[in-house]
Structure 1
Amino acid sequence: MEFATVGVVGAGVMGVGVAQNLAQTGHRVVLVDVSEAVLDRARAELRTSLRSFRLLNPGSRVDPAEVLGRIEFTLDYQRLADADFVVENTTEDWAVKEEVYRRIDAICRPEVVFAVNTSAISITRVGSVTGRPERVVGMHFMNPVPMKPMVEVIRGYHTTPETIDTATRFLAGMGKERIVVEDVPGFVSNRVLMLTINEAVFLVQDGVANAEDIDRIFRTCFDHKMGPLATADLIGLDTILKSVEVLYESFNDDKYRPAPLLKKMVAAGLLGRKSGQGFHSYH
């Protein structure tokens, strides 16, 4: 296997999904985070997710114990020294990402490609803090990762065609296709989606309709599987807020101004599915 060992940095919702997908497709995974509590939660989430995957895919030969056995959970970044490819999934916070990339750039072999799993942060900016900007590529996975067949791949200013080819082969090994887009804040998916979600929050805030009815309109009128506010709950309202703030800062355009209600809910800890309450209840 070309990418036998894959480093996955960040054991949040997206990191866990990427790690699961990789382990299910036969890769050895080194899952790194800075908190033992986060890693413990990741183990529990993986067990639950693998059971659900088998229930939803009755013909699948996925063995949860075997898949978990392919994942190493660690606090030690040095374990990435053996990685053949790295996918980074940390929070949408530039200060955090900058520190992570300076760290892994010093550990990983020079030829290893870094994939930035981000909603809005510039791939070119990430590449600039490494010694390998030509080997840094955006790889925007969708949630839940094991169930989504398409990945948005983002070409940074220095990203070479060879790196795009490497990323394409890597994703094919996960059973995924890719669409390549250029490096602008939000890319394609989130430049549209975050505006939609933010405007839906304004509708709730302004009393135009409640969250249930807004989502129902999108499901029944446009055949969307989920409405914008249920999608926000799935992604996490804190992640939504950070992504909208990046767009607002990047474009300096008031249309990206975060809805005050969104900021208030995040401050209150109403983050969606992961906290049990967002625009909908998950208790």
Structure 2
Amino acid sequence: MSNLFKKVACFTDIHFGLRNNSRQHNTDCEEFVLWFIKEAKKANCETCIFLGDWHHHRASINVSTMNYTMSNLEFLSKAFTNVFVIMGNHDLFYRDKREINSVAFGSLYDNIHIVNNIFTEGDVSIIPWLVQDEWKEMPGIKSRYIFGHFELGGFQMNQLIAMPDTGGLQKAHFKNQEYVFSGHFHSRQEQKNVIYMGNAFPHNYSDTWQDDRGMMILEWGQKPKYIAWPDAPSFKTINLSTLVDDPEKYLKPKTYIRVTLDIDISYEEATHIKQVFTEKYNL
């Protein structure tokens, strides 16, 4: 039996429609997808797996966001032999069942496969957001690789909060796998054979100083490789004294920065510094 892929390019949790369907965010998403395709082609990846949460809003899709979705699904369809789109929790209308999802029109493309049920081919299993007691099926899966959208206790939900153990799915349930790759938690983290690969790019100040995101490439039988998007938005918090000492170190295009005034300056001086830095560094 042939393998599902020779070399696969992966990304996750892009969240089209975030920030009240912000045009800037959706544009960032599209620029990321185009960069992702370029890097995947450079690495000769024939397969793409998206690990969940294509959209941000469960209940509705803004018309502008829908157009971004359609164009970017088409980009992926044209770039890869097969594209697998896992249904994450944000893609589902209901929290406890997968009856309705917001990416159904991806199936209009022959080579885009919407993974709305547990899917196994050869030595690969692709798992959507689990509902009801489906987590009990995980220990019985023997596949070498699993790609999914899991909520596992003991991993960081963000910089401050770890996911508690809820008594359901555990990383120990994946003892048969060489690697388990997951979306859902946005920061890259690894425990034993379970890897949260990190989402496409930082989204807000919960991602402060955490730029280790982007895409993953996995060649069959090899170790995963990660590539950060060089043009990704970045979120930082910093003291003004540190910033003015070396602004070029911290201020790049698309940097969102919260500055603490730790030196004695007037409001007018602070406003002037902000204006100068914003214009000079294209913030």
* Bigger proportion of residues as helix: 1
Structure of larger gyration radius: 2
Task: Please give the TM-score of this superposition, normalised by the length of structure 1.
Answer: 0.35
Using CA pairs below 8 Å that are at least 6 residues apart, which structure has the higher relative contact order? 2
Task: Please give the TM-score of this superposition, normalised by the length of structure 2.
Answer: 0.35
